Amino acid sequence: MASTAHPPPVRGAEVVIPKDGETLRRAILIRLFEEKLLALFSEGKLSGTVHTCIGQELSALAVAAVLREGDWIFSNHRCHGHYLAWTGDARGLLAEIMGLPSGICAGRGGSQHICRDRFLSNGVQGGGVPIAAGCAAALKIAEPGRIATSFIGDGTLGQGVVYETLNLASRWSLPLLVVLEKNGYAQSTATATTIAGSVRGRFEAFGVKCFEATIWDRETLFATAREAAEYVRRERVPAALSVECFRLKAHSKGDDNRSPELIAEFAARDPLHVFEREFPESYARMRIECEIRLRDILAELERSPAPIRETLGAAPEPARVWKPAALIPEIPSVRSQPRVVERVRDGLRHLLANDPRVILIGEDMEDPYGGAFKATKGLSTDFPGRVRNTPISEAAITGVGNGLALAGMRPFVEIMFGDFITLAADQIINQASKFAYMYAGQVAVPVVVRAAMGGKRGYGATHSQCLERHFFGTPGLNIVALNSVCDPALLLHRIHERLDEPCLLLENKLLYGMSVRSHSPDGRVWLENGADFPTLKLDAHGRGDVTVVTYGGMVDEVEEAVRRAFEDDEIIGEVLVPTRVFPLDVAPIVESVARTGRLLVVEEGQGFAGFGSEVLAACAERLPGAALRPVRVCAEPHPIPCSRELEKFALPGVDEVLAALQKLARA
Ligand SMILES: Cc1ncc(C[n+]2csc(CCOP(=O)(O)OP(=O)(O)O)c2C)c(N)n1
């Protein structure tokens, strides 16, 4: 299914959830584990970084005590305690932090990015909250009674996506427990100097109940955690659990600018120190047990083999047979030449009808509006509850999409104007695209983010761009572009059937109104090469003067320019249109350029470090020594103006493509 190979999931030691009465033993294990990490760092035996929770262990344990198997847990950079509290898997975690193949993520994740079953951590502050909400949404549909938990620190209260998510989780009544570890600091900064208002007020503003406790009153902490989790489980609504605590060590390894007096004051109150003072014999016995366990694990791991170089990546595309492009017969169309938007709708309708896991979320998608470009018109009526309007929260809705996908649903997230994909960039680049590799193939995130890109409608600088360039080259991400030749319903079907990785689907705004057709204006038939995400070709039967490569919304204008170039100057263009622009199958392009020696790349967006640059580089690399004559046509290097005339100057059109064809033919 996936285009990138991953090794089979790594299994750590058996998960052992602490039983009542074992809390302190587990707390000691967490503390000794992290003290050992700091020692290994100072001995130069570990690389990277580590954020210890020394002093805060009880908050993780209080939450672990009230979670159940099947619940999702999202953690942050300070995740060791959360993980060990929940699993007890010191061996798997230590191996991971040591970068060993037997680590829980095969050494790919390290200290901050760990995953096992339904426990995931990521070091991008706040990004896990909407993903947890997405999992909560999936649980609500498929596994009622289970909940999702997301740990954050109080510094992360500055992160906007947290509030987008609280709003959505409250509106959608999602069983989400946000655990706030309120240790008063964010790295070097006292949060009292950066976070305004009250913590409780922040949650309650969204109608989210906030439970409060401290680690210095263990009984109340455990009781409050239980009350909070049971409330979320029973009422199926979000809640927050705010746990006041203090970290006794530096933010990471040695970066501590807090006063020694302050730290000493909290060290004296530290629950484990208190336990040691009150029950020295029990404490000493448990400590020795944990020390022996960790010593044995370390000794074993120090003898383990180091990782070997991995060879991952897409398999080479097999040779293809070109055949005429056509509408997909399994998805009927009401018209013989439907418009692109109609085929998008047909495709989505087909998926909704055939796969109960499919769910569509985005702004203004429901009827009677049916989406800003009407791509979902009628679908919310026909599939009640499965096409959902969201608030204006691009980061959160993409994150919720990630969570839904992670939990087994097949979400399609609509970004109304592709320009706003910037707001969802963290969820695409640092979350969805990373998970499968970073967590050693244990999870898949088959989320589809549909974004209407493109200009030529006078919408100006912030509603007209093609921003896919910023996502090109992100490992783990697929970028597919609709055009008016390859049936959009087919591409939706393929994405759904053949990808278990995230996909950014580019839907050009002007394209929506075009008819899907299999002939170009010069009468030639469009061919496709039969790949899952086919490359299309306007064949020149070996007589092409210029290879023209384009994608998405530029296809129609390129065709028109090619028609005119032939009529006016008898220049024959061989046009190639990939439907998946990343990862890109360059073979058909290189094959054509090897024959023509002339390459014209046309893209609507900015050219620098863009699609054209990559196509050019691929041809130059694969055709060393060839006399390659390239030209690129792209947007002018300034923001897109509103004025109809100015916009024409800024964005490439038929005239620019024609001029480039003529220039190349003369070269
Ligand atoms: C989005 C983001 N911005 C900045 C950072 C760098 N960073 C890592 S931890 C941290 C402080 C987090 O503070 P808090 O949320 O209070 O958690 P704590 O470290 O106190 O557990 C910062 C700024 C990050 N990882 N992610």
Query: To test ligand 1's pocket by mutation, which of 49, 187, 189, 251 has the most ligand atoms within 8 angstroms of CB?
Result: 187
Residue 3 placed within a domain:
no
How far apart CA 119 and CA 74 sit, in angstroms, is 6
Q: Are residues 44 and 189 both part of a single domain?
A: yes
Residue 520 placed within a domain:
no
Q: What is the model's pLDDT at position 269?
A: 96
| Nearest one of 599, 607, 592 to 661, comparing CA atoms | 599
CATH of the domain at 632: 3.40.50.920
All residues at 6 or more sequence positions from 591 whose CB lies less than 8 Å from its CB, including other chains: none
Check pocket membership of 187 for ligand 1, CB cut-off 6 A. Answer: yes
Q: What is the model's pLDDT at position 308?
A: 86
Check pocket membership of 77 for ligand 1, CB cut-off 6 A. Answer: yes
DSSP for residue 339: B
C-alpha distances out from residue 495 to 34, 99, 447, 482, Å: 43, 34, 10, 12
Q: Are residues 206 and 336 both part of a single domain?
A: no
CATH of the domain at 144: 3.40.50.970
Atom of ligand 1 nearest to the CA of 155: 16
3-state secondary structure 591-651: HHHHHHCEEEEEEEEECCCCHHHHHHHHHHHHCCCCCCEEEEEEECCCCCCCCHHHHHHHC
Q: Is 80 a catalytic residue?
A: no
Q: Are residues 125 and 248 both part of a single domain?
A: yes
Q: Are residues 354 and 497 both part of a single domain?
A: yes
Residue 521 placed within a domain:
no
Q: Are residues 263 and 328 both part of a single domain?
A: no
- From 267, 302, 337, the end of a domain falls on 302
Span from the CA of 186 to the centroid of ligand 1 (angstroms): 6
125 Rama sector, left if φ>0, alpha if ψ -120 to 50, beta otherwise:
beta
Atom of ligand 1 nearest to the CA of 127: 1
Q: Are residues 288 and 334 both part of a single domain?
A: no
Atom of ligand 1 nearest to the CA of 181: 21
| Nearest one of 293, 404, 311 to 359, comparing CA atoms | 404
Span from the CA of 86 to the centroid of ligand 1 (angstroms): 22
Q: Are residues 501 and 533 both part of a single domain?
A: no
Atom of ligand 1 nearest to the CA of 187: 11
What predicted TM-score, i.e. pTM, was given to this entire model?
A: 0.96
How far apart CA 632 and CA 384 sit, in angstroms, is 47
Residue 410 placed within a domain:
yes
Check pocket membership of 121 for ligand 1, CB cut-off 6 A. Answer: no
Residue 318 placed within a domain:
no
Q: Are residues 179 and 251 both part of a single domain?
A: yes
- Residue span of the structural domain in which 391 resides: 323-513
Check pocket membership of 56 for ligand 1, CB cut-off 6 A. Answer: no
All residues at 6 or more sequence positions from 220 whose CB lies less than 8 Å from its CB, including other chains: 213, 214
Q: Are residues 627 and 501 both part of a single domain?
A: no
Check pocket membership of 78 for ligand 1, CB cut-off 6 A. Answer: yes
Q: Are residues 564 and 471 both part of a single domain?
A: no
Atom of ligand 1 nearest to the CA of 124: 26
Residue 488 placed within a domain:
yes
Q: Are residues 536 and 415 both part of a single domain?
A: no
- Look at residue 6 and give its three-state secondary structure: coil
Q: Are residues 260 and 373 both part of a single domain?
A: no
629 strand-pairing partners:
598
Q: What is the model's pLDDT at position 1?
A: 37
Check pocket membership of 154 for ligand 1, CB cut-off 6 A. Answer: yes
- Closest residue by Cα to atom 12, ligand 1, is 186
Tokens of 583: 């990862």
Residue 310 placed within a domain:
no
- From 460, 479, 513, the end of a domain falls on 513
Catalytic residue among 463, 470, 493, 496: 463
Check pocket membership of 122 for ligand 1, CB cut-off 6 A. Answer: no
Q: What is the model's pLDDT at position 16?
A: 61
Low-confidence ranges of the chain (pLDDT < 50): 1-12
Q: In what order do the strands lie in the sheet with 535-538?
A: 323-324, 526-528, 535-538, 573-578, 546-550, 598-606, 629-635
Check pocket membership of 80 for ligand 1, CB cut-off 6 A. Answer: no
- From 302, 337, 352, the end of a domain falls on 302
Residue 152 placed within a domain:
yes
Q: Cα-flanking dihedrals φ and ψ of residue 82, to 5°?
A: -60, -45
| Domains contained in the chain, number | 3
- Look at residue 445 and give its three-state secondary structure: coil
